Amino acid sequence: MNERFEAVNTPAEVRSLLLFSALHGDDPEGLRKRILSGFEVDAVKQNPKRKVYRLRCSDGTELYLKLFAGQNCLQSYFRFNARHEYQAARTLEKAGLPVIRYLAWGQLHRGGFCLSEGIPQAVSARQYFFETLVRDPAGLGPFLGELAEVTGQLRRASVRHPDFHLGNILFSPVTGQLYLADPWGVHQVLLMVKKYRLELCLPWVELYGSVSDDQLVAGMEEAGLARNGSEAESLLKEALERHARQVQRHRAKLDARILSGKSKYTTEIELAEGRCAFRHTEWFDPPATLEISSAWQAVQYKTEAESRGVWLDSASV
Same domain? For 204 and 301 the reply is no
Euclidean distance between CA atoms 317 and 314, whole angstroms:
6
Same domain? For 152 and 222 the reply is yes
What's the pLDDT band for 219 if we cut at 50, 70, 90? very high
Domains of the chain: total: 3
Q: Do the beta carbons of residue 112 and residue 102 sit within 8 Å?
A: no
How many Å separate Cα 158 from the centre of its chain?
A: 22
User: Taking Cα atoms as reference points, which of 28, 32, 33, 18 lies closest to residue 107?
Assistant: 18
Domain with residue 169: its CATH number is 1.10.510.10
How many residues make up the chain in this entry? 317
Full residue range of the structural domain in which residue 282 is found = 261-307
Same domain? For 293 and 175 the reply is no
- Residue 313 lies inside a defined structural domain of this protein: no
Torsion of CA 127, 131, 132, 133, to 10 degrees: 80
Given a cut of 70, whether residue 263 has pLDDT beyond it is no
- Residue 191 lies inside a defined structural domain of this protein: yes
Same domain? For 154 and 130 the reply is yes
- Residue 316 lies inside a defined structural domain of this protein: no
**Mean pLDDT estimate for the chain:** 82
What average pLDDT score do residues 124-137 get? Answer: 87
pLDDT for 226-258, tens place per residue?
999 999 999 999 999 999 998 888 877 767 666
Same domain? For 83 and 110 the reply is yes
Torsion of CA 205, 210, 211, 217, to 10 degrees: 20
What average pLDDT score do residues 79-104 get? Answer: 89
- Residue 213 lies inside a defined structural domain of this protein: yes
What average pLDDT score do residues 107-131 get? Answer: 89
Among 117, 145, 165, identify where a domain stops.
117
Given a cut of 70, whether residue 271 has pLDDT beyond it is no
Same domain? For 164 and 57 the reply is no
- Residue 104 lies inside a defined structural domain of this protein: yes
Residue 62 pairs in a beta bridge with 56
Question: Global pTM?
Answer: 0.77
- Residue 97 lies inside a defined structural domain of this protein: yes
Percent of the chain with pLDDT over 90: 48
pLDDT for 28-60, tens place per residue?
999 999 999 889 998 888 777 888 999 999 888
Same domain? For 227 and 272 the reply is no
Cβ neighbors of 293 (< 8 A, separation 6 or more) are: none
What's the pLDDT band for 311 if we cut at 50, 70, 90? very low
Among 99, 117, 135, identify where a domain stops.
117
Q: Is the dihedral of CA 118, 171, 127, 163 positive or negative?
A: negative
pLDDT for 178-218, tens place per residue?
999 988 888 899 999 999 999 999 999 999 999 999 999 99
Same domain? For 84 and 162 the reply is no
Give the range among 14-23, 76-85, 139-148, 177-186 with minimum mean pLDDT.
76-85
Q: Is the dihedral of CA 37, 38, 42, 47 positive or negative?
A: positive
Give the range among 225-229, 256-260, 268-272, 308-312 with minimum mean pLDDT.
308-312
Alpha helices, DSSP H only, in the chain?
A: 11-20, 28-36, 73-78, 82-94, 125-128, 140-156, 194-199, 202-206, 213-222, 229-249, 251-260, 304-307
Burial of 178-188, coded b for 16+ CB within 10 Å and e otherwise, reads: bbbbbbbebee
Among 80, 101, 117, identify where a domain stops.
117
- Residue 314 lies inside a defined structural domain of this protein: no
Neighbours of 281 (CB within 10 A): 14
